[in-house]
Amino acid sequence: MPNGVSQFGKGIVEQELTRMFEPKWIRAVAKESGLIERERKIDPLVMFWTLAIGYGSQLYRTLGELKSEYEVRGKVSISDSIWHDRFTPELVKFLKQCVIHGIEHISQEPSRVLGERLSAFRDVMIQDSTIIRLLESLAEKWPSTRSKRVAACVKVSFLTSIVANGPKSISILPENTSEVKTLKIGPWIKNRILFVDLGFYKYQLFSRIAENGGYLVSLLKSNSNPLIVGINQVRNGRDIDLKGKYLKDIKLEKSDDIFDVNVELSFDRRSYRGESKKDSKVFRLLPNIIQN
């Protein structure tokens, strides 16, 4: 462990924290968040422990006091400007990721471990939102877009975690915010399954989830007509070749006929410099998920 950090491992709480926040993880998140581009005067590991433990245990109240604590733990001397310049939106982003990581770690209790079939995943999550009516006096800041008279409403968007047994994140947004814009996909989705309703039905969103190593479960809109590119299972002995056909070309002979196939979804990538490129991704289509 780097100089200035080893003393944090003396108590039980400190031992648990150092196990929770491994040096490799801290450095990786520091770079990912933009807090540290190149480690020179400021070591993200020492800075993290100074802010996380130094503040709470010693009740330091000023940036100067925290800087002095950093210098003692890191065995370095830095200028005020170098220290102050690190208190940026990137630091907020970094610390937010640390808090989320800590909550996930604590929530991994025996009673909240996913079942055997889901053990390969880190979490199962559900994204949804609801509209809440506010006092009319707030209409100027949070105007309702669905009411015929002056009214105030907000959309409360929440991401629920099965492992944490509660909300992972909550956002308060204008009522007219589209469902897709309430969900920001990034590296956090890796090895997680996300359940969404048809308000999030957008192939570009599906693609971003897959590209970030995540998994998605969604209903299929009735007007969707994907191309079948692979067969996983056909039940009830139907001897037909589904590969190469479009979904709407298939007629079910019985109500209990089931087929499990891979389908190709085509979509336009977000335009760049006025140009938009075509793309496609392969997803699994499971039985009984076609929805109006």
Summarize pLDDT for 120-155 with one digit per residue, the tens.
Answer: 888 899 999 999 998 888 888 899 887 778 889 999
User: Which residue ranges make up each domain of the chain?
Assistant: 6-107, 116-218, 222-292
Summarize pLDDT for 201-238 with one digit per residue, the tens.
Answer: 999 999 999 999 999 999 888 888 899 898 887 766 55
pLDDT over threshold 60, residue 103 = yes
pLDDT for the residue numbered 146:
78
Q: Which of 11-25, 96-110, 260-274 has the lowest mean pLDDT?
A: 96-110
pLDDT for the residue numbered 155:
92
> DSSP string spanning the chain?
--TTTGGGGSSHHHHHHHHHS-HHHHHHHHHHTTS-SS-SS--HHHHHHIIIIIHHHH---SHHHHHHHHHHHHT----HHHHHTT-SHHHHHHHHHHHHHHHHHHH--GGGPPPGGGTTSSEEEEEEEEEEEE-GGGTTTSB-SS-SSS-EEEEEEEEEETTTTEEEEEEEEETT--GGGG---SGGGTTEEEE--GGG--HHHHHHHHHTT-EEE--EETT--PEEEEEEEEES------TT-BGGG---SSTT-EEEEEEEEEEEPPPBTTB--EEEEEEEE-TT-EE-
Mean pLDDT of 82-94: 88
CATH top class, domain 116-218? alpha beta
Summarize pLDDT for 158-186 with one digit per residue, the tens.
Answer: 898 888 777 778 888 999 899 988 988 98
Mean pLDDT of the chain: 80
Summarize pLDDT for 235-292 with one digit per residue, the tens.
Answer: 665 556 778 888 888 775 555 566 788 999 888 877 667 777 888 889 998 865 444 4
